[in-house]
């Protein structure tokens, strides 16, 4: 049993940026938390109800094409991509950091992760900081959200 009260909380974007530059295989997942997710260790496709072979998560590994661009912007973008989930899917969803191994891709081409080790919660103000960075950039940026048509 995972006791989420024992998980640390990552309290700064700089802290996450340092971690991302020193390790690979890190993911952020938006959900009710590891205590809810790990017993089955599988996500479900909302559209079809199909059980997926791992937990859907967003990879934080820096891609080679990112080059020498600021790592904190990369991390902010990855955190910002799914910040809409508490508003549109589950008000109890929170971001948490995990280490895992990609086993497949889900229906939205998202990584499906197994061998999950929870590393900690990500504080709300870190998401606020990420939102500030991304919305301050030029261009039309927005979280990944498909509204109804």
* Domain residue limits, the chain: 7-135
Identify the pLDDT of residue 139.
77
Q: Identify the residue whose tokens are 């500030």.
A: 132
pLDDT of residue 148: 42
Q: Work out the number of other CB atoms within 10 angstroms of the CB of residue 32.
A: 13
Residue 10: partners with Cβ closer than 8 Å, 6 or more residues away: 16, 19, 97, 120, 121, 122, 123, 126
| Look-up of token digits 């998202």 | 110
pTM, entire model:
0.89
Q: Please, which pLDDT band fits residue 82 given cuts at 50, 70 and 90?
A: confident
Measured CA to CA in angstroms, residue 40 lies from 24, 60, 113, 115 at distances of 24, 23, 12, 12
């Amino acid at each position: 049993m995972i006791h989420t009260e024992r998980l640390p909380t990552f309290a700064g974007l700089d802290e996450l940026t340092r971690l991302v530059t020193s390790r690979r295989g890190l993911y952020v997942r938006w959900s009710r938390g590891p205590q809810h997710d790990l017993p089955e260790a599988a996500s479900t496709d909302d559209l079809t109800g199909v059980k997926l072979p791992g937990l859907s998560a967003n990879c934080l590994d820096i891609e080679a094409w990112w080059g020498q661009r600021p790592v904190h912007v990369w991390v902010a973008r990855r955190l910002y991509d799914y910040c809409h989930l508490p508003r549109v899917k589950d008000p109890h969803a929170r971001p948490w950091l995990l280490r895992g191994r990609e086993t497949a891709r889900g229906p939205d081409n998202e990584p499906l992760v197994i061998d999950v080790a929870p590393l900690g919660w990500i504080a709300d103000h870190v998401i606020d900081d990420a939102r500030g960075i991304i919305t301050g950039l030029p261009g039309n940026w927005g979280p990944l959200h498909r509204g109804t048509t």
